[in-house]
Copies of this chain bind each other. A is one copy, B any other.
Amino acid sequence: MSAAKHDGGWKRLSSRYLFESGWYNVRQDRVALPDGEEITYTQVEHPGYAMTVPVTDDGRVLLERVYRYTVQETLIELPCGGVDGDAPAVAAKRELEEETGWTADTLLPLGSFYGSKGISDERFHAFLARDLRDLGRHEREATEQIETFFVPFEAALRMVHAGEIQDAPSALALLLAERRLAGSTT
């Protein structure tokens, strides 16, 4: 569910791009605030990404160790990638296949969230992926240094609460999947 778009009384006076790429843009606006004050607001424009929580029939989840240049760390994450103009579920399945060599016959939506609303419009779409099948191949890009591994789903939850999964979208998607897997209807 998305809230209604509105301008909040902020009036965009002008825009220019500081950076444009096929991945994301940085846009700088002059804006009049509701009280009339003029400010410069610089934000990221990002097309969004899709993420899966791939859970096998016997209750294991497929995780990745990914080197992230931005933070100079190897993070534990869920499979995830840009929507690239596709519907979120299509992108989620494509990225799962490309990064891990596994596919899923069933995708159940877990929600859509803004990851960094102060500076970016990026939104991610999370899915619980079930009925997994091993395709026996993957197609990674040179910037994708990824190792995949399975852990019992309960172990992944313990990793979230112990601070071992530092990627917020992955941690959130795992906690949302926990409830879905438990079949709770609260």
Please report A residues at the B interface, Cβ cutoff 8 Å. 1-10, 18-19, 21, 23-24, 26, 28, 31, 33-35, 37, 39, 41-44, 46, 49, 67-75, 77, 111-124, 142-143, 145, 154, 157-158, 160-164, 166-169, 171-172, 175-176, 179, 186
Contact = CB atoms under 8 A, between A and B. Distances in A.
7 contacts: A2-B73, A8-B145, A19-B42, A44-B119, A71-B114, A113-B167, A114-B166
A66 B73 CA distance: 32
Q: How many copies does the complex hold?
A: 2
B18 A117 contact: no
A120 B117 CA distance: 13
Nearest to A116: B116
Contact of A69 (B10, B26, B68, B111): B10
Nearest to A185: B161
B114 A168 contact: yes
Contact of A70 (B119, B163, B167, B171): B119
Contacts of A122: 116, 119
Contact of A113 (B6, B19, B145, B171): B171
A25 to B, nearest CB: 10
Contacts of A37: 142
Contacts of A175: 172, 175-176
Given A49-B118, A175-B175, 12 more contacts: A4-B73, A8-B74, A10-B69, A19-B42, A31-B69, A43-B69, A43-B70, A70-B118, A112-B166, A115-B115, A161-B179, A175-B176
Contacts of A75: 3, 114, 117
A26 B35 contact: no
A142 B72 contact: no
9 residue pairs, one from A and one from B, having the closest CB atoms: A8-B67, A113-B168, A1-B163, A116-B116, A172-B172, A175-B175, A3-B73, A5-B72, A115-B116
